[in-house]
Amino acid sequence: EENGHQNKRLKTDADEEHVEDQNKKLPKRKIVLLMAYSGKGYHGMQRNVGSSQFKTIEDDLVSALVQSGCIPENHGEDMKKMSFQRCARTDKGVSAAGQIVSLKVRLIDDILEKINNHLPSHIRILGLKRVTGGFNSKNKCDARTYSYMLPTFAFAHKDHDVQEEVYRLDKETLEKVNKLLACYKGTHNFHNFTSQKGPRDPSAKRYIMEMYCGEPFVRENIEFAVIKVKGQSFMMHQIRKMIGLVIAIVKGYAAESIIERSWGEEKVDVPKAPGLGLVLERVHFEKYNRRFGNDGLHEPLEWTEEEEKIAVFKEQYIYPTIINTEREEKSMANWLSTLSIHDFNSSAVEMQANNKNSKNSSDLEGSDGCDDDSD
């Protein structure tokens, strides 16, 4: 019996070695992976090689790629060897429903299943497509769409509305929110919506294609709404500050004219909404699709067949995380209580003096998505 058990074990080891040898013979191909993940508990998407202190989504992904046999172990240690590139570099705690990474892998059998077997359930690879050899998911991306899910009491007026979870958003307030969000459309100088960029830095100019807030809905007795924003690219904290400023106006802390003022050279105090509700929804490759999508060799980077899987993942992992964390940690309610501290009328000189006195360490979190200047 012991001999039989030993033979069986030797056979299994031999099988595994045979599979590994077969994998090594497979040519490497450039692909993209469609990823969804819940970002809670992670220090963002981007891996910091050599720093195990802060766990990132890419740490788990690279480990799964090595264990499944898609990439050799040394490629995991030096990601340049597999031409790895993420489309968007999400911040600490931020989730994604449609992140895209490009890399070279061995196209092993049942590749998606094998990678997912080595990933935690809150990180999934939902799709795979072959792409051109020179494809880079960050450089070839034309636009990104983010959503931001927030409890609607964030829009309750500070002086004459209920501030708690019983608040319900009325039609007039939603219209006002959407009128303000629409002001962001077009190209503007967003230097006031990020840190470390001056008013004359050309890279502070960003193009926003659309921004709006959808109809509210109730989950676990709290009313929520989702803001969608589509732009070419976003800088560190930009989306959270765009939303933070609109909340400050709707609540009655700041005048509507502050948005227009923020495009100018003057330094404006723009509050940054919590990171919890921010989700990378999808990334767009229109130019690539026009050129290569129908060339007979490559598929367009559209994910219609995966839409259902994306929706299921959001319902299972992303929305419950946002709702439960909001209920337990009250991140929005706590942040709202800090709005009164902001000085929305201060001059540039006063602001600079205040900034020197209070350098906020939380500004070093990373980027809301794809700060193409600092990746």
Residue 362: predicted pLDDT: 39
The residue length of the chain stands at 375
Domain closes at, from 139, 157, 184: 139
Q: Which among 13, 15, 21, 91 is annotated as catalytic?
A: 91
Note whether 111 and 170 are same-domain residues: no
Backbone CA torsion sign across 25, 26, 30, 32 = negative
Q: Which of 307, 322, 366 is nearest to 36 (CA)?
A: 307
pLDDT in tens, 257-278: 999 999 999 999 999 999 899 9
Q: What is the pLDDT of residues 177-199, one digit of tens each?
A: 999 999 999 999 999 999 889 99
CATH of the domain at 49: 3.30.70.580
Residue 146 annotated as binding?
yes
Looking at the domain assignment, is residue 17 inside a domain?
no
Domain boundary among 121, 139, 157: 139
User: Looking at residue 319, what is its pLDDT?
Assistant: 95
The beta strands (E) that lie in the chain are given as 28-37, 85-86, 95-106, 123-130, 143-151, 186-189, 205-213, 217-219, 222-231, 278-284
Residue ending a domain, choose from 118, 139, 160? 139
Shared-domain flag, residues 245 and 182: yes
Contacts of 123 (CB under 8 A, 6+ apart): 35, 36, 37, 38, 57, 60, 61
Look at residue 329 in the predicted model and tell me its pLDDT.
94
Indicate if 321 and 208 belong to the same structural domain: yes
223 and 163 both lie in a single domain = yes
Q: Does 76 share its domain with 133? A: yes
Question: For a pLDDT cut of 70, what percent of the chain falls above it?
Answer: 84
* 340 within some domain: yes
Choice between 194 and 92, residue whose per-residue pLDDT is larger = 194
Q: What is the DSSP letter of 91?
A: P
Determine how β-strand 123-130 pairs with β-strand 222-231: unpaired
Instruction: Identify whether 372 is part of a domain.
Output: no
Give the C-alpha distances (Å, rounded to integers) separating 88 from 94, 139, 152, 166, 228: 11, 10, 27, 36, 16
Residues 48, 171 share a domain? no
Q: Is there a single domain that holds both residue 181 and residue 318?
A: yes
**Which of the four pLDDT bands, split at 50, 70 and 90, describes residue 13?**
low
Looking at the structure, tell me whether residues 168 and 317 fall in a common domain. yes
Cα 105 from Cα 234, distance rounded (Å):
29
- Checking if the pLDDT of 5 tops 70, the result is no
Query: 226 is in which domain, residue-wise?
Result: 143-347
Q: Which two tokens stand for residue 1?
A: 């019996």
pTM attached to this predicted model: 0.85
User: What is the total count of domains within the chain?
Assistant: 2
Give per-residue pLDDT as tens, 44-85.
899 877 666 789 999 999 999 999 999 998 887 888 889 999
Say if residue 161 is in the same domain as residue 61.
Answer: no
Cβ neighbors of 237 (< 8 A, separation 6 or more) are: 91, 193, 194, 195, 272, 363, 365, 367, 368
- Please report, as a single letter, which amino acid is at residue 198: G
Whether residue 15 lies inside any domain: the answer is no
Clarify whether residues 292 and 307 are in a common domain: yes
> Residue range 229-234: average pLDDT?
95
Specify the CATH number for the domain of residue 292.
3.30.70.660
For residue 331, tell me if it sits in a domain. yes
> Based on the domain organization, do 117 and 192 belong to the same domain?
no
Residue 21 lies in a domain: no
317 and 341 within one domain: yes
Is residue 213 one of the residues assigned to a domain? yes
Instruction: Specify if 20 maps to a domain.
Output: no
Judge whether 295 counts as a catalytic residue: no
Q: Hey, what amino acid is at 113? A: E
